[in-house]
Every structure is written in structure tokens, then in C-alpha cells.
Amino acid sequence: MLRYVFVVLLALFCNVAMAAQSSDYKLGPGDVIKVTVWDHPDLSIETQLTKDGEVNFPLVGLISLNGLSVAAAENSLANVLRSAGYIVNPSVSILVSQYISQRVTVLGEVNKPGRYALDSASTLLDVLAEATGITQFAGDNVVLTRDSVRTEYSIAQLTAEQDPLKRNVWLKTGDVLYVPRSQIFVLGEVQRPGNYRLEAGMTVMQAISVAGGFTPKASHRSIKIDRKREDGSVQEIKSVSASDVLSVNDVVYVEESWF
């Protein structure tokens, strides 16, 4: 039930993010902008910024807009036109058609992994919502990698946090978000063998119950777990009790009874 609440709240955060204006967006290489000079349609263009963040503007040539906000870019172009003597009091409007230079990457257990534009000030929850939320096998944590430094956050804690200073993890261009998969495998003599989401504190018996319970041929005492170690090797655990707590990617195997 809590996961459904998280998804709803993430969607709400997404709507807020989409409503935000792009006035704080910093232009950069590759961005596509539409420039309108009022009362001068011959100067209105749609163009892509060069690799140096420049725009080739009619009459005045190359102008650098790299790192400028939309408002600052408008003022810069107006000043150039005014200084060149072409227009006495130019009114310039810029609309960003494609946000390309300021992007973050979202990977792992989200419904739409990919690269997303930071078209406004965006938080970690905003971008997860833009990726249409997490999948059914997603873990409760998300890893943010910035400048080779990895920081782990709890999605549940961020979503439930009331204090904006603690909830809002602001992102910047180049950030990578990764939502790990949190699953277990229940195999052997159970009704529905397969992989299932690992819930916090899930025990062996709870996992077997999620898999539909024992089959008539199952041995209730012959249960083993294959657990992957950090070095990639697999540890086989044979002395398993129903109350043992499982770890990510554990393989629970219920053997057949011979009696």
C-alpha cells in the first residue's frame, strides 16, 4: 500500500515540476532556441547553439549565450542590436525549443530510463516522477552519482519528508540516478516459482507465502538459500529456518520431500 502512496506522491511532484518556468535554465551547447524580435519578423529565427554555446544571429553574427539564463540571453541580444544601431529599443523574446545541454541520466528500475532535461530547478523526486516512477521490482533506495561521488537516498523517506530542506535533493547537469533492483527468487516445490520483490525484513516463510505456499510434495524442512557474496561468489546456506531474513537476490529453494 505504501508503494502506491509513493507513486501518487511522485506524480504530484512531477506536476509541480512541469508547471515550473524555465527562467532559471542556463543555455548551453546544443540547445535549440526560438528568438523573436517584436515588429521585426525578418530577425526572428529558430536555431541551435553551437558547441561553444554561440548563436549566429542575423546582421550581427556570432553571439555567445553560453551559461546565460533565458532572461539574460534576451537582454544580451537586445543590447547587441541596440549597440549596433539596428533597432532603437529592441524587444527580444527567447523560447527554448529543445533542452539539450543541461541533462541528467536516470537508470535502473524506473519505467522510462533515459536522459532528462533540467528545464527548470529539479529535485531527485521530480526527475524520478518524470521517468514515470519506479518499477515493481525497485528497491527503496536510489543512488545519486555526482563527480564520481555516490550518495544513497531512501525514496520512502524523501517522499514522506515534510521539511522541504530535507526532501529536496537538487540535481545539476551530469548527475546520474540509479534505482537498484530489489528481488528474490523462490524456486522448487512452491505453487508459483519465480522472482518477487524483496520487501524490507522479508523472511523465508514470507517469501514462500508470496510464492503461493508449499506444494503437496514439498519438504518443509529441506530449504536452502543461495546468496551472492560481494566478490560475486555464491554461498549455499543449508541450515535455514522460516524466520531467517532474506537479502537482495537470494535464491530460496524448497526441496522435494522423499517421504
Q: Whole-structure pTM over 0.95, yes or no? A: no
Radius of gyration of the chain (CA): 27
CATH number of the domain residue 81 falls in = 3.30.1950.10
User: What pLDDT is stored for residue 19 in this prediction?
Assistant: 37
Residue 228: inside a domain, yes or no?
yes
Q: Which of 42, 70, 98 is the last residue of a domain?
A: 98
Scanning the chain, the segments in alpha helix (DSSP H) are 2-19, 70-83, 124-130, 155-160, 164-167, 204-210
Q: Are strands 103-108 and 176-179 parallel, antiparallel or unpaired?
A: parallel
Residue 57: inside a domain, yes or no?
yes
Number of domains in the chain: 3
> Residues in the chain with pLDDT < 50?
1-2, 4-22
CATH number of the domain residue 210 falls in = 3.10.560.10
Residue 14: inside a domain, yes or no?
no
One-letter amino acid of 196: Y
Output phi, psi for 189, to 5 deg. Answer: -85, 65
Residue 159: inside a domain, yes or no?
yes
User: What pLDDT is stored for residue 130 in this prediction?
Assistant: 94
Residue 3: inside a domain, yes or no?
no
Cβ 55 vs Cβ 49: under 8 Å: yes
User: What pLDDT is stored for residue 62 in this prediction?
Assistant: 93
User: What pLDDT is stored for residue 239 in this prediction?
Assistant: 86
36: Cβ–Cβ under 8 A, 6 or more apart, which residues?
44, 92, 93, 94, 95
Domain that includes residue 191, residue range: 183-256
